[in-house]
Amino acid sequence: MKTINNIIELVGWEAIKLLIGLIGVLVVVVVNALVLTWAERKVSGHMQRRIGPKEVGPCGMLQPIADTIKLIAKELLTPQNVERPLYFLAPVIVFIPVMVSFVVIPFDAYLQVKDINVGILVILAFSSLSVLSILLAGWGSNNKYSLIGSVRSVAQNIAYEIPLLLALLAVVLMTNSLSLRDIVESQKGLWYIVSQPIAFLVFFIAGVAETNRTPFDLPEAESELVAGFHTEYSGMRFALFFLAEYTNIFIICAITTTFFLGGYHGPILPGFVWFFGKTYLLVFVILWFRWTFPRVRFDQLLNFSWKLLIPVSLLNLIVTGGILKL
Amino acid sequence: MINLGEPIFILIVIMTVAGALTTVLSGSVIYALIGLVATMFGIAGLYVYLNAPFLAMMQILVYVGAITILIAFAIMLAGPFYKRPKEWTGIGKFSAALVVSVISFLTFFTIIMKVSWTEGKGAFNLLTKDIGRALFDRYAFPFELISLVIVVSIIGAIMLAMFSRGKND
CA A161/CA A158 separation, integer angstroms: 5
User: How far apart are the CA of A201 and the nearest CA of chain B, in angstroms?
Assistant: 23
- What is the average pLDDT across A291-305? 84
- Assess A15–B contact: CB distance below 8 Å, yes or no: yes
Q: What angle do CA A78, A79, A82 make, to 5 degrees?
A: 100
At B126 the pLDDT is 62
| Confidence at residue B119, expressed as pLDDT on a 0 to 100 scale | 61
State percent of chain A over pLDDT 70: 96
CA distance B125 to B109: 26
Q: What is the pLDDT of residue B86?
A: 57
Contact B17, B45 (CB under 8 A): no
Angle between helices A119-140 and B29-49 (to 10 degrees): 160
Residue A19: name the closest of B9, B4, B43, B15 by CA.
B4
| Torsion B146-B149-B155-B160 (CA) sign | negative
Look at residue A4 in the predicted model and tell me its pLDDT: 67
Task: Give the confidence band of A85 by pLDDT, cuts at 50, 70, 90.
Answer: confident
Average pLDDT over every residue of A216-229: 74
The rounded percent of chain B whose pLDDT value lies above 90 is 11
Query: Whole-angstrom Cα distance, residue A148 to residue A71?
Result: 26
B25/B23 Cα distance (integer angstroms) = 6
Query: Region A288-310: what's the mean pLDDT?
Result: 85
pLDDT at A299 over 80: yes
Supply the pLDDT for residue B123: 45
> What pLDDT was estimated at residue B107?
92
For residue A111, the cross-strand partners are: A108
Taking the CA of residue A62 and the nearest CA in chain B, the distance in Å comes to 38
Are the beta carbons of A54 and A42 closer than 8 angstroms? Answer: no
pLDDT at residue B99 in the model: 92
Most confident of B6-10, B55-59, B80-84, B104-108: B104-108
For residue A37, pLDDT over 80 is answered with yes
- Report the alpha-carbon distance of residue B126 to residue B53 in Å, rounded: 9
Dist. CA B108–CA A127, nearest whole Å: 33
Residues of chain B found within 8 Å of residue A121, distances taken between Cβ atoms:
54, 57-58, 61
Chain A residues close to B64, C-beta within 8 Å: 125, 128-129, 132
* Residue B72 to residue A135, Cβ atoms within 8 A: yes
Q: Would you put residue A235 in left (φ > 0), alpha (ψ -120 to 50) or beta?
A: left
Say whether A125 and B1 touch across the interface (CB within 8 A).
no
Q: Residues B155-168: pLDDT tens digits?
A: 988 888 777 766 55
* Model pLDDT, residue B149: 93
Is residue A59 pLDDT above 60, yes or no? Answer: yes
ipTM of the complex in this document: 0.75
The distance of A57 to chain B (nearest Cα, Å) reads 43
Which range scores top for mean pLDDT: A58-62, A167-171, A269-273, A292-296?
A167-171
What is the phi/psi pair of residue A48, to 5°?
-105, 20
How far is residue A235's CA from residue A83's CA, in Å, rounded to a whole number?
18
pLDDT over 60 at B79, yes or no: no
Mean pLDDT check: name the lowest of A7-11, A191-195, B136-140.
Answer: A7-11
Question: CA A96 to CA A227: how far, in whole Å?
Answer: 23
More confident residue, A112 or A150: A150
Confidence label for A94 from pLDDT (cuts 50, 70 and 90): confident
pLDDT score recorded for residue B82? 52
Tell me what the pLDDT averaged over chain A comes to. Answer: 82
Among A282, A272, A259, CA closest to A211: A282
Q: Which residues of B touch A135 (CB under 8 A)?
A: 69, 72, 76
Q: Which of A10, A129, A132 sits opposite B2 (nearest CB)?
A: A10
Cα(B93)–Cα(B107) distance, rounded to whole angstroms?
Answer: 21
Least trusted range by pLDDT, from A6-20, A49-63, A182-196, A276-290 = A6-20
B121 pLDDT higher than 90:
no
The pLDDT assigned to A238 comes to 81
Domain boundary assignment for chain A: 1-66, 74-325
For B129-156, the pLDDT digits (tens) are 777 788 888 888 888 899 999 999 989 8
What pLDDT does residue A178 have?
82
Quick one: three-class SS letters along chain B?
CCCCHHHHHHHHHHHHHHHHHHHHHCCCHHHHHHHHHHHHHHHHHHHHHCCCHHHHHHHHHHHHHHHHHHHHHHHHHHCCCCCCCCCCCCHHHHHHHHHHHHHHHHHHHHHHHHCCCCCCCCCCCCCHHHHHHHHHHHCHHHHHHHHHHHHHHHHHHHHHHHHHHHHHC
Measured between its terminal Cα atoms, the distance across chain A in Å is 59
CA distance A320 to A299: 30
Residues of chain A positioned with their CB less than 8 A from the CB of B72: 132, 135, 154
- Whether cis (ω within 30° of 0) applies to the bond prior to A215 is yes
CB of A157 closer than 8 Å to CB of A303: no
Give the Cα-Cα-Cα angle B9, B14, B20 (nearest 5 degrees): 130
Which pLDDT score, from 0 to 100, does residue B103 have? 94
Find the largest Cα–Cα distance for chain B.
70
Round to whole Å and give the CA distance between B26 and B106. 25
> Is A100 within 8 Å of chain B by CB?
no
The residue-averaged pLDDT of A8-25 equals 76
